[in-house]
A and B are shown apart, each in its own frame.
Chain A
Amino acid sequence: QSVLPQPPSVSAAPGQKVTISCSGSRSNIGNNFVSWYQQFPGTAPKLLIYENNKRPSGIPDRFSGSKSGTSATLGITGLQTGDEANYYCGTWDSRLSAWVFGGGTKVTVL
């Protein structure tokens, strides 16, 4: 069981929107930045969102992040077949003194 529960999978048709939730506690999401990662099979994770809601250079604005209290959400609008991947949330846990990650969510484009 992951420290940061995420839904195992989400799906939507091309052009639609999906949201992925990431649930935590005061020791992690509640008091630290949340980041989001996209990973295709056999490749390294790619940073999509850092500091809760900022996009690195080159990440399209179809990807957005938000945080409220001890939960965070990744949104993907204008869904494309190329968005089919696994998505992970991550944050620092001050009680564990460790980075913790969600279990991952597989996005499927119908």
Chain B
Amino acid sequence: QVQMVQSGAEVRKPGSSVKVSCKTSGFSFSSYTINWVRQAPGQGLEWVGGIIPVFGPTQYAQKFLGRVTITTDESTGTVYLELSSLRSEDTAVYFCAREYVLRDLSGLGYWGQGALVTVSS
């Protein structure tokens, strides 16, 4: 079955970087866009970006351009999100998510468990 298992919680100081991973299994890694969505404490969902593994087209939300990089490791089926120049407002739970069906933009049906990133001095 489809599984999306994320790395654990991280604590970082302002100005530093963080790299969060999402190990996938149970499906063809190159067939689905993998998205990153974050949720600040008590707030709603915010899309960070997405990537089509292997083939590589990557899209990022405008507000993160220049600070975010999404990469993949095909050999392990893992997707990475790296966010740099961290500020306190980046404190959030970061989720990876995959489309439910093969048709793109239809709905995010499989989610990782989330990884809390805390930015604090």
Decide: B111 and A45 in contact? CB cutoff 8 A.
yes
Q: Shortest distance in angstroms between B54's beta carbon and chain A's nearest beta carbon? A: 21
Q: Does B59 reach chain A (CB closer than 8 Å)?
A: yes
State the Cβ distance, B23 to closest chain A Cβ, in Å. Answer: 15
Whole-angstrom CA separation of A99 from B50 in the bound complex: 9
Chain B interface: which size bin?
Answer: 20 to 34
What is the 8 Å Cβ interface bit string for chain B, positions 101-121, against chain A (1 contact, 0 not)?
A: 101011111011110000000
CB 8 Å contact bits of A92-110 with B (1 = contact, 0 = none): 1000111111111000000
Residue of B nearest to A2 (CB): B44
Q: What 1/0 flags go to A68-104 for Cβ under 8 Å of B? A: 0000000000000000000010111000111111111
Across the interface, do A97 and B59 meet the contact criterion of CB distance under 8 Å?
Answer: yes
A residues with a Cβ closer than 8 A to B are 2, 32-33, 35, 37, 44-47, 49-51, 56, 88, 90-92, 96-104
Task: List 5 extra interface pairs beyond A45-B37, A101-B45, A101-B47, CB under 8 A.
Answer: A32-B105, A35-B106, A35-B108, A37-B108, A56-B109
Q: Which residues of B contact A (CB under 8 A)?
A: 35, 37, 44-47, 50, 59, 61-62, 95, 97, 100-101, 103, 105-109, 111-114
